[in-house]
Amino acid sequence: MNFAASNFSFFTLFLKADFVVKFVIIILIAASIYSWAIIIEKYKLFKKINGSSSIFEEQFWSSKSADSLYKKLEGYNEDPMANVFKAGMDFMIKNKSRSASNQERVLQALSGSIDKEMEVVEKKLTFLATVGSTAPFIGLFGTVWGIMNSFQSIAISKNTSLAIVAPGIAEALFATALGLLAAIPAVVAYNKFTSDSRKYSTRLENFSQSFISIT
């Protein structure tokens, strides 16, 4: 039996779907679009901060003194590593003591600054994790609901012809496909950016240790 291709187009399936399936489809499309916006944003962010931190490290090790570099960075706040350095210098300027206890307090100030910077870096990553874990189940809900509607169509029409059930099953399976389409990129991106975040956090921690050792 032949079916017109237009009967299975995206818009046709969406328009013929009932309210619940339409709502599921809209949620999944919105989640997918926002996930991709986050993915692009985080890709640009990690590329930017890795580059700017490399430049800052070169400036740090080539500077005559930490004080001279600190003065150059006045008003500059675009690089997390530079911000960690400034936080440490701010604390040291206020506390002139060179005792071991003071160095421990400087390290605490640096750790606090690292945590603050990483909060910005990791912002919105939990949304990717949420989409990755929930989107397949949301799609599955739409699928179950669509199949239930198909069975109702069979019961009402008392006709088991494929022409009766095919549209409902198609829209049901389409919801599952959208769920996977939203979830898979979100999971892959979350794992990648989480790994990048750990590496960058370690980089900041190593820098803070180096900073303490030469001050």
* Grouped pLDDT means (10 residues each) for the chain, 215 residues: 51 74 90 97 96 92 87 83 92 70 81 94 96 94 82 67 66 86 96 97 93 79
Looking at residue 183, what is its pLDDT? 96
Looking at residue 8, what is its pLDDT? 56
149 vs 115, 143, 177, 179, 197, CA distance in Å? 50, 10, 18, 19, 45
Looking at residue 71, what is its pLDDT? 86
Looking at residue 3, what is its pLDDT? 44
- Report how far residue 122's alpha carbon sits from residue 110's, in angstroms, rounded to the nearest whole number: 18
Looking at residue 103, what is its pLDDT? 75
- Report how far residue 22's alpha carbon sits from residue 28's, in angstroms, rounded to the nearest whole number: 10
Write the single-letter amino acid at 149. Answer: N
Q: What is the DSSP letter of 78?
A: S
Does residue 73 contact residue 85 with C-beta atoms inside 8 Å? yes
- Report how far residue 185's alpha carbon sits from residue 112's, in angstroms, rounded to the nearest whole number: 32
Q: Tell me the whole-structure pTM to 2 decimals.
A: 0.82
Which one, of 175, 195, 176, lies nearest residue 187 by Cα? 195
Locate 137 and state its tokens: 């189940």
